[in-house]
Amino acid sequence: MKNAILISAVMLFCVTAFCDEAWSSGISFDGSQISDASFLLQSTDSLNYNSALADGTPVSLTIGAVDQADPSKTASIFSDNSGTAVEGSATWNYSASDLPKNDTYTITETVVSSYETKSYSRSVTILPEPAIFVLLAIAGAFFLRKRAKAIVALLAVVSVSAIGAKADVVSSVSIQQVLPFTRDVVIRYTMTPAADTLYDVQFYGSTDNGETVFNLQDKGTLHLSTLNETFCDAGTHKAVWTPDESFYNEKTDNFKVKVAATAIPAERNYLVIDLSGGTEASSYPVSYLSNAPSTWSDDYKTTKMVLRLIPAGTFIMGSPAGEKGRESNETQHKVTLTKPFYAGVFEVTQKQYKLVTGTNPSQYAGDARPVETVTYNMLRGTSAGAGWPNSSDVDESSFFGVLRAKTSLAFDLPTEAQWEFACRAGTTTALNSGKNLSSIVQCDEMAEVGRYYYNGGEIGYHTTVGSYLPNFWGLYDMHGNVQELCLDWGKNDIGSDSVIDPKGPGSGDRRVLRGGCWGFFACYCRSALRSDYGPDYGQDDCGFRVFLVQ
């Protein structure tokens, strides 16, 4: 009887474990007050201090550590004595790896403003990555010593039952609230993706053992720190959830998080249009790739056009108050895009444009350089094509009119929200590399990701597409090279309310451009930077990228 129960339990485990989602264990979430509880961190984690400050308050911060095992061992691990005026709130980040020893510390953070001086202390235990595995190994050895026969039997049954079963895609979900100075929740999870498979990963929360489930992005903001070109490579990943006001003051002893991964058909990760037939072709063949080649050959920048599948999702559009170069029309707000879409891996090049239209209006020639001196009216037309957002139609003779007719697919420009979502690829920083600007004018971080004034633009032109680092979704030149046209009418304020699939204003006299260009300083090439010009505007810094909504 006992053996039957044991086998049944293991069989049930095998059925339930090999799924594409996993829950964490429950924790006590306290958003109602700041706690002095100590917490554990891995040596690669970051700590932060958040301070709500009056606009324009000059502040400084110093952070020191005292080893609790040996109080004579102290260290100053962070110092910002700039006294710079801060608007709204300020965040300072410092890495746990900066601490002088892997041990337990009392961390003291002292904030000095023009009004007062405050000191806060907390206990922090830093565990290096190897130590965690050592502890697990010791615990495992003790467990095996006590129950060796039972474990062997279990492993035998599991190995038989698991034949033909697929491995967990998501496993080992753990969560931790980072107290006392923030209410953020750190989420760790392990991905074991199937080969050549792209996943749409979503995060859910529950306070009642899963009976009621909500999407974490509906009650806060997710920061995905390990996004990469395949969305979720094998290994351990981390996300940080910052609850908003709808969950901020919750207090529960059983808060859980579920991570769910939905596979996107691998054979359609990339869409490829064969333009080699040019204007004489009656149709342009469309094919798909499961993954990107190790390098994109020149034909993908000239005779073929390649687009990457981007999953639906929610993100924070706009820029935070402290971002260098921030402008007043970049108010942060939550945007949800409910449909996946394809985004051009590269800006449309001069050769591609000529194959579709028979012309090349560009001032700086080069087959694999972005086409420029194009206008909104040239791309969509002045009749039906001028009707967005009331209509998605385009003129038959326009670039998109021809491309649609020869592929039977409704290619178009992106909305402004789609463009920024594709550009950011999960990042919340000024650049989609995950980095902020070190200077608003000449900036090494900007030089990594695109052509701008100080890495070649000063001589007066753009460069071959794909010459700089791609973002985490494999899209190139979202910063710099040429400005990219979007569908929306321009508006001064993008608002602060949460929106779903926004299409922009109903009317206007200027259309949106994003991304900056070869002749701009670094601050004008940021992910959140917004520009707009008349629909007949077309200069040597104005180009575009092809999108397709599924």
Please indicate, yes or no, if residue 405 is contained in any of the structural domains: no
Q: Let me know whether 439 and 538 are in one domain.
A: yes
Q: Taking 80 as the threshold, does the pLDDT of residue 284 lie above it? A: yes
Q: Let me know whether 96 and 144 are in one domain.
A: no
Alpha carbons 324 and 104: distance in angstroms, whole number:
36
Q: Let me know whether 54 and 146 are in one domain.
A: no
What share of the chain has pLDDT > 70, as a percent?
68
Q: What is the pLDDT of residues 374-394, one digit of tens each?
A: 999 999 999 999 999 999 999
The DSSP-derived string for 133-198 is: HHHHHHHHHHHHHHHHHHHHHHHHHHHHHTTTPPPPSEEEEEEEE-TTT---EEEEEEE-PPTT-E
Please indicate, yes or no, if residue 511 is contained in any of the structural domains: yes
The DSSP-derived string for 6-73 is: HHHHHHHHHHHHSSSEEEPPPEEEE-SS-----EEEETT-EEEEEEE--TTEEEEEEEEEEESS-TT-
- Collapse the DSSP code of 75 into the 3-class scheme (helix H, G, I; strand E, B; otherwise coil) and give the result: strand
Query: Peptide bond before 180: cis, by omega within 30 degrees of 0?
Result: yes
Q: Let me know whether 58 and 122 are in one domain.
A: yes
Q: Which of 92-96, 396-400, 424-428, 454-458 has the lowest mean pLDDT?
A: 92-96
Please indicate, yes or no, if residue 293 is contained in any of the structural domains: no
Q: Check residue 121 and give its pLDDT.
A: 61
Q: Which CATH number do you get for residue 116?
A: 2.60.40
Please indicate, yes or no, if residue 36 is contained in any of the structural domains: no
Q: Taking 50 as the threshold, does the pLDDT of residue 157 lie above it? A: no
Q: Taking 70 as the threshold, does the pLDDT of residue 280 lie above it? A: yes
Q: Taking 70 as the threshold, does the pLDDT of residue 400 lie above it? A: yes
Alpha carbons 223 and 285: distance in angstroms, whole number:
39
Q: What is the mean pLDDT of the chain?
A: 78
Give me the residue label for tokens 């180009």: 543
Q: Let me know whether 11 and 58 are in one domain.
A: no
Q: 62, 94, 127 — which closes off a domain?
A: 127
Please indicate, yes or no, if residue 112 is contained in any of the structural domains: yes
- Split into its structural domains, the chain has a count of 3
Alpha carbons 117 and 41: distance in angstroms, whole number:
28
Q: Check residue 487 and give its pLDDT.
A: 98
Alpha carbons 287 and 266: distance in angstroms, whole number:
13
Q: Taking 60 as the threshold, does the pLDDT of residue 155 lie above it? A: no
Q: Let me know whether 103 and 252 are in one domain.
A: no
Q: Let me know whether 134 and 123 are in one domain.
A: no
Q: Let me know whether 250 and 182 are in one domain.
A: yes
Q: Let me know whether 123 and 146 are in one domain.
A: no
Q: Let me know whether 330 and 474 are in one domain.
A: yes
Range of the domain at 427: 313-337+349-392+414-544
Chain length of the chain: 550
Q: Check residue 368 and give its pLDDT.
A: 98
Q: Taking 90 as the threshold, does the pLDDT of residue 403 lie above it? A: yes
Instruction: List, in order, residues 6 or more apart from 27 with CB less than 8 Å away.
Output: 175, 176, 177, 255, 256
Mean pLDDT of 158-179: 58
Q: 244, 264, 284 — which closes off a domain?
A: 264
Q: Let me know whether 96 and 241 are in one domain.
A: no
